[in-house]
Structure 1
Amino acid sequence: MTEVLFYHLQNMSLESVLPPLLEKSLERGWRVVVQSTSQERTEALDAHLWTYSDDSFLPHATWRAADAPDHPVILSVEEGNPNRANVRFLIDNAALPADADSYERLVLVFNGDDTEALDVARGAWTDCKARGFEVTYWQTDDRGRWQRRQ
């Protein structure tokens, strides 16, 4: 069964949250696709992931790379699964893919300060529940640590 995690960003940026989540996915041996809704955002994330830390390396490529199937993390604006990922991150209000049930895990990261993003996340929550997916909601506590909420 597909597990869907909703990460509610408040007072933090996607750029600060995404790299550690991707690193944890790679530590677990997962392959990942990160789907955005714009090519500009994907290119900005591509540049950011190369430089976000001086002491860490996050192997990735964009969906346009000739060797995309070989990379453990792909940044994309399309629904495809070029690297046979078992985890898909949806950012910037990207819609659930048609093949959502083919993933072990979907991770929706949304901006809690954006009413449109909240509406999209609520709609995705309802859709995921209707499909029988296991859904969980995550928010940071006062110290900035992710906590599962009821």
Structure 2
Amino acid sequence: KRQMKTLIITLSLFCLLLAAPKWHELSSEYTFDQYISDYSKNYAKGTREYDQRKIIFESKLQEILSHNQNTSHTYKRGINAFTDMSHQEFKQSKLGYSKGFRSSRNQQFRQLLLNNKKLLLNKSLNSPRALTGEIITQYLLQRIKDTVVHAGLSQLLQQLKVTPLFLPINT
């Protein structure tokens, strides 16, 4: 199943590469509509977004063609899926700061690390592998505990007199 997904993705990328013109095939006759088709963009003609993207694309296409005609440059430029984005948009969406460790799920993990830093520091001095296992175990147990508490399952288990499979560890 995984190999099939990989094959489909590879073939899709290969088809995309074949569809779009290479730098030496670019000309001023290449249109925004061809670009939309080549890169499977979904802009409806007559909309404000279509008009804005077209202006950005045509401006960048002229820059690319001008650059490629200049023989003093040691490299050639081409178009890609980002040619219809302004520099600011590209910076924000592709180069911008990723919340990563500050996202809500990671915030819980971060808080767990901060709460247990003395314990974790002592373990890391003795065995780095144990530290990794301890972090993962503590994180998973905390997630299970939070889920059980929020769902009210702990009360249900008590009423049914069932012993939970996982007991949260207090640190």
> TM tier, shorter chain?
under 0.3
Using structure 2 for the length normalisation, give the TM-score. Answer: 0.19
Higher strand fraction (1 or 2): 1
Please tell me whether Structure 1 or Structure 2 has the larger radius of gyration of its CA atoms: 2
Higher helix fraction (1 or 2): 2
